[in-house]
Amino acid sequence: MPAPTVLVTGASSGIGAATARLLLERGWRVFAAARRLEAMEPLAALGAEVMALDVSDDQSRRELAEQLTAKVGALDALVNNAGYGEVGPLETLPLERARALFDVNVFGLMGLTQQLLPAMRERGSGRIVNLSSIAGRWVSPGSGWYGASKFAVEALSDALRLELKAFGVSVVVVEPGVIATDFAHVVSPSMEQSLSCSVYSSMMRAVRKSWDSVYRGASPPLEVARTIERALTDPTPSARYLCGHQSASVIASQLLPTQLWDKIVRIQMT
């Protein structure tokens, strides 16, 4: 039996790198994609086939899909992990930054899926794992656009799961909590910038304090990688898999009345 094939996007760091490594150990043929090729050299040394991808760029997505089709035809699995965060009050966060965020987290994810799905559908099998977040289930102050991008991932994944059921392709969402990766470092310039806005500076200081506090308990990316492996291999996968520090907050946010939940969030973040 040939090794099952998987493309992991955002494999140059954090969750994507840990996932690619774990899947290589488990015997998968792993295609690892991101913009920073040099950061994926350790994965290449372990046997990953490293590929350049800017997921927000149509041409880059198309070239990657052509190369993959030439190599393997249809993939067995696609892990749509590439993504990043933006922080800032909704009143002031420039829309071009929100659009750039959606170009990666939403349109990039769906654009790549559109390129790779036809081969899976025609073969009648495949699995797509989309990285959402606890921010795809409840949103906190200062994270409105990031949350909106992950709510969009949730909605698109629900629709895709229903549309593809008849074709043998399953769609799964993984929802990490707070994970120790470069994510907070990548967010930090927008966090710093948001502190300079006088109207919201006190709220954003509270947001930063809360982030600093929760990230001290962050789970290792391997915990998410193990969950992604489960999502890829469960014979009858769930629609959603929660994992990592603070992920139980999703259950609490659903059980508590909105006014009470708002109060809990506001105490910590305003």
Cβ-based neighbours of 136, under 8 Å, separated by 6 or more: 147, 150, 151, 153, 154, 173, 175
How do strand 169-176 and strand 126-131 relate by DSSP bridges?
parallel
Binding mask 167-186 for ligand NDP (x = CB under 6 A): ---------x-xx-xxx--x
Establish whether 146 is a catalytic residue. Answer: yes
Q: Residue 194 or residue 247: which is nearer to ligand NDP going by CB?
A: 247
Is position 13 an interface residue for ligand NDP (rule: CB under 6 A)?
yes
Give, to the nearest 10 degrees, the angle between helix 109-123 and helix 144-164: 10
The answer to whether 108 and 65 have CB atoms below 8 angstroms apart is no
Q: Residue 5 or residue 247: which is nearer to ligand NDP going by CB?
A: 247
How near is the Cβ of 23 to ligand NDP at its closest, in Å? 15
Q: Residue 5 or residue 56: which is nearer to ligand NDP going by CB?
A: 56
Give the pair of three-digit tokens for residue 170.
Answer: 């399953």
Q: Which range, of 13-21, 165-173, 190-198, 229-237, touches ligand NDP by CB under 6 A? A: 13-21
Binding mask 76-115 for ligand NDP (x = CB under 6 A): -----xxxx-------------------x-----------
Residue in 65, 131, 139, 243 binding ligand NDP, rule: CB under 6 A: 131
How near is the Cβ of 125 to ligand NDP at its closest, in Å? 25
Q: How many residues bind ligand NDP (CB under 6 A)?
A: 30
End-to-end, the C-alpha distance of the chain in Å comes to 56
The angle formed by the CA atoms of residues 30, 36 and 41, to the nearest 5 degrees, is 55
The answer to whether 77 and 127 have CB atoms below 8 angstroms apart is yes
Among 264, 270, 260, 226, which residue's Cα sits nearest to residue 246? 264
Q: Residue 9 or residue 157: which is nearer to ligand NDP going by CB?
A: 9
CA gyration radius, the chain: 18
Pairwise CA distance, residues 154 & 190, whole Å: 24
Among 1, 83, 76, which residue's Cα sits nearest to residue 31? 76
Is position 14 an interface residue for ligand NDP (rule: CB under 6 A)?
yes
How near is the Cβ of 74 to ligand NDP at its closest, in Å? 22
Residues 189-248 that bind ligand NDP (CB under 6 A): none
Catalytic hit among 146, 200, 215, 241:
146
The contact set with ligand NDP (CB under 6 A) reads 9-16, 34-36, 39, 53-56, 81-84, 104, 131, 133, 176, 178-179, 181-183, 186
Q: Which residues are catalytic?
A: 146
